[in-house]
Structure 1
Amino acid sequence: MIITTKRGKKSAKPTINARVERGMLEPIRLPKLANAAQWLDYYHDLNYEQSGVAPLSPEEINKHINKLDPDVYPNVDWMQEIFKKRTSNGRLNMNVTGGGDFIKYYVSGSYMKENGIFQPRKTSNYDPSVNFDRINFRSNVDIRLSPSTEVNLNLSNQFETKNRLGVDLGTMYDIILHTTPWPLQRNFRQEPMQ
């Protein structure tokens, strides 16, 4: 099998081609996890059965369920906090081809960006976004030095930037599935409660 790349063609003027693609990515289905009311009911029953003592008072349970003070009584939907509903990707391809009697050329470049499905909490010092960027460049130049001699100059480069999680995707998913909607808070308010 022989793999060849595109070459320049003799033409009166250069031919320019461009293509822009934009896409949306969305999970087909994310699992529905127990909310704080369901989890606290389970936790309450389990502890009461084993010890005969209720671990939380009805007032404390009510504060979690009604989100009266989320710093002290959190009720977090971790799927909604960690995953975006959808994300995007995009691609731009451009090439120029042409040439004359002695020189023919084909030059192309492309840029691709794919954003991750995770919804990061960015700060001025840290950006935990998950994404992938790639830039490709190719240049094929054919120079005819004489009727029997031709020089081909082929250049190609690819540059990639990947911003990933500190753990593999399976581990992250497992952490999300096993984290209760309480007692962990996603972040604390900066302003005092009214």
Structure 2
Amino acid sequence: MTSAAPAPLGSMNGTWILDKTRGQPSMRGYLETMGVTQLAIEAHEKGEEEHDTIHIIEFANNTFTIKKMSRVNDLQLELTLDEEISLSMPGDRTKTIIATSDNPGQTVKIISRMPTINGMAHVIDEKTLTREQNLLVLVQKLTIKNELNGNEHTTTRYFIPYHGELPDSAATAKGTDGKPVKGRRQSDQMEEDDSTYL
């Protein structure tokens, strides 16, 4: 008797919610590597424990768009694959980002270089679509290296499909006309110990 063929993998396009029961849902190691204060890390952890983290992803042609909604911050980023962009940050600082993909819709690698409290950090955010029996799972492997002291940390998080209502904070992930803002962080202010990540 022949076994049934595995279901097609599909695409990571859609809405995903952080699975807090597996992997390392806490961003403590990432934030410590950035040099963020313990007080800010504890506040970040409390916010993510009490509220869901949701990612909305869309691959269209050669463009990758992600909205990240959580209690801690709201982000939206639109990137053209293989094209680096520069984002202005407070204090005449600059963050560079580039996204690449060997298989658009199923894998994406986002490489960033950003200023931190005590120097610069190099971040690689790899998202890979996998299937566990009948469930699609989006695996995020987030590696950060502090260029000043050489400290490095990798966080692995798991996201599963989400079909519920979006939180009210989703409204802040759009511009005043309700449309996405390209290459911009959606918040009123970026703090010095900011935990920007995707």
Greater strand share, 1 or 2? 2
Larger radius of gyration: 1
Answer yes or no: same fold by TM over 0.5: no
Greater helix share, 1 or 2? 1
